[in-house]
């Protein structure tokens, strides 16, 4: 049993992050004891000890969730390569989110039975996993209110959004523990790719009336300068509205499931069940026979159905619960049963910790929203699933976060990273994030919308990425 002695403040916060780091991530049993030690002291009753800096939780209570409590920028960088620690990291130069000054020669010291580490592993992990900075400095994005943009984040500004920094911190912790207690065994992981698909537009024509069809045809002619596209639009509309749903361009569900099954993957399809934001939430109804047929087909093929909460739910717990109840009711009526329910916010709209609590109260098991809309990477600094925490109520939640790493439009579209669909840049960038997850035997979570897998170039990139 590992004994962890901690200072006598922020008890709930410390209990949460120590549980996540030791029990969830490493699979180690711990006992937490409060004492007057100024740092975090880790022992196993044999005289050996690991001491880590306690910078973040040393803040006064009046500084909690205030700008003064944020990391001082620019961050200092610790060159771990000067030590003999055998830790898996992306780079030997480790940004110090919280901790001592790494320029101080006492930042890291070790002997056979004692290690002092000036890196505040637990405070930094708490900061990243709870999205602490997003409560301290919420930012209203012009196009997507409620979405905290990646360019405003500490990780982006300090150059570590593209590396899972808390995985690296965890490996440093493990290297220290193994140096002192070589017989320790940790939880093992196996790299996994998880693919999910937000169903914003399941069908292009199934719910389209004549006025909207004419508007689309006008766009084909006037904007896309293609009479042929207008003719194809009319032909497809006629086929779909007379019962041939396979003729609909957005009906890529069988293609997606075929690709997943080829690579032993299970796709998760997240459906919008209500329309709190109006037209931005799509134009389909869960009660339509074509949607119910689609749900049955997904379930019969062994894939997952989940919730894509509508545009205005991120601050609305009652609406979140209502939409989940609609999904469960429709699935129950179709004989669809799942033990585990989750999904993602529409447009990745989010408010920490409100949205965490909304999903918890609605009874959902997991959320997979947390990636930035404008730049891909590790918003939470981790590529493992983890338990969440409400910074306002100071309570750990049952809700699991499955952090999203890459959304296709973030990398491709000109309003975001703007890598486009030509050349190798897009695939190489997405593959880089996947490789980071592989390094830590973590989870690479990829979002690709069904209505984008119409363009053959996107299909090709998607196929290549999931096959890597």
Phi/psi for 289 (5° steps) reads: -55, -35
What pLDDT was estimated at residue 209? 63
Q: Where are the alpha helices (DSSP H) in 150-252?
A: 154-157, 165-180, 210-222, 227-241
Q: In whole angstroms, how far apart are CA 369 and each of 166, 284, 289, 314, 402?
A: 18, 22, 29, 11, 8
Placement of tokens 């592993």 in the chain: 121
Asked if residue 142 lies in contact with residue 374, where contact means CB atoms within 8 angstroms, the answer is no
Alpha-carbon span 316 to 344, nearest angstrom:
14
What pLDDT was estimated at residue 224? 74
What pLDDT was estimated at residue 247? 78
β-strands 108-110, 93-96 pairing: unpaired
What pLDDT was estimated at residue 246? 81
What pLDDT was estimated at residue 362? 98
In the CATH scheme, what is the code of domain 192-202+250-467? Answer: 3.20.20.370
What pLDDT was estimated at residue 231? 67
Alpha-carbon span 92 to 101, nearest angstrom:
17
Asked if residue 147 lies in contact with residue 422, where contact means CB atoms within 8 angstroms, the answer is no
For 92-116, write each residue's pLDDT tens digit: 999 999 999 999 999 999 999 999 9
- Please list, residue by residue across 207-246, b when 16 or more beta carbons sit within 10 angstroms of its beta carbon and e when fewer do: bbeeeebeebbeebeeeeeeeebbeebbebbeebbeeebe
Q: Which residues of the chain have pLDDT under 50?
A: none
Alpha-carbon span 254 to 232, nearest angstrom:
21
Q: How many CB atoms lie within 10 A of CB 425?
A: 14
Q: Where are the alpha helices (DSSP H) in 270-384?
A: 289-300, 317-333, 354-362
Provide the whole-model pTM: 0.95
Domain ranges in the chain? Answer: 2-180, 192-202+250-467, 205-249
What pLDDT was estimated at residue 316? 98
Placement of tokens 């960038």 in the chain: 429
Q: Which tokens is 262 given?
A: 């080829």
């Amino acid at each position: 049993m590992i004994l962890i002695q901690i200072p006598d403040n922020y008890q709930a916060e410390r209990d949460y992050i120590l549980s996540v780091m030791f029990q969830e991530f490493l699979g180690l049993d711990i006992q937490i004891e409060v004492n007057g030690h100024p740092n975090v002291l880790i022992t196993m009753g044999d005289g050996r000890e690991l001491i880590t800096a306690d910078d973040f939780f040393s803040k006064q209570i009046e500084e909690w969730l205030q700008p003064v409590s944020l990391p001082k920028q620019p961050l200092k960088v610790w060159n771990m390569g000067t030590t003999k620690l055998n830790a898996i990291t992306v780079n030997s130069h480790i940004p110090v989110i919280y901790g001592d000054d790494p320029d101080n020669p006492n930042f890291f010291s070790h002997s056979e039975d004692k290690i002092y580490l000036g890196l505040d592993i637990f405070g930094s992990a708490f900061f990243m996993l709870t999205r602490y900075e997003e409560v301290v400095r919420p930012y209203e994005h012009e196009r997507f209110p409620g979405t905290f943009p990646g360019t405003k984040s500490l990780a982006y500004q300090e150059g570590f959004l593209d590396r899972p920094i808390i995985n690296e911190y965890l490996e440093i912790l493990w290297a220290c523990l193994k140096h002192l207690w070589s017989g320790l065994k940790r939880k093992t992981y196996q790299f996994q790719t998880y693919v999910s698909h937000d169903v914003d537009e399941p069908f292009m024509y199934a719910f389209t009336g004549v006025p909207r069809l004419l508007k689309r045809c006008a766009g084909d002619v006037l904007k896309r300068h293609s009479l042929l596209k207008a003719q194809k639009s009319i032909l497809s509309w006629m086929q779909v509205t007379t019962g041939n749903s396979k003729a609909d361009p957005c009906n890529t569900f069988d293609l997606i499931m075929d690709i997943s099954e080829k690579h032993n993957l299970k796709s998760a399809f997240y459906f919008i069940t209500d329309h709190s934001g109006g037209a931005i939430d799509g134009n389909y109804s869960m009660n339509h026979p074509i949607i119910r047929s689609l749900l049955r087909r997904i379930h019969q093929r062994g894939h997952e159905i989940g919730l894509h909460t509508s545009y205005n739910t991120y601050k609305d717990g009652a609406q979140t619960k209502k939409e989940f109840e609609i999904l469960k009711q429709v699935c129950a009526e179709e004989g669809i049963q799942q033990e585990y329910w989750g999904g993602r916010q529409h447009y990745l709209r989010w408010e920490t910790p409100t949205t965490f609590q909304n999903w918890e109260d609605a009874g959902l098991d997991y959320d997979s929203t947390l990636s930035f809309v404008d730049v891909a990477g590790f918003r939470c600094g981790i590529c493992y699933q983890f338990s969440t925490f409400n910074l306002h109520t100071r309570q750990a939640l049952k809700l699991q976060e499955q952090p999203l790493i890459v959304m296709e439009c973030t990398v491709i579209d000109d309003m975001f990273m703007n890598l486009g669909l030509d050349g190798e840049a897009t695939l190489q960038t997405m593959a880089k994030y996947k490789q980071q997850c592989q390094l830590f035997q973590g989870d690479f979570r990829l979002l690709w919308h069904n209505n984008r897998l119409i363009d053959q170039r996107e299909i090709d990139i998607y196929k290549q990425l999931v096959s890597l």
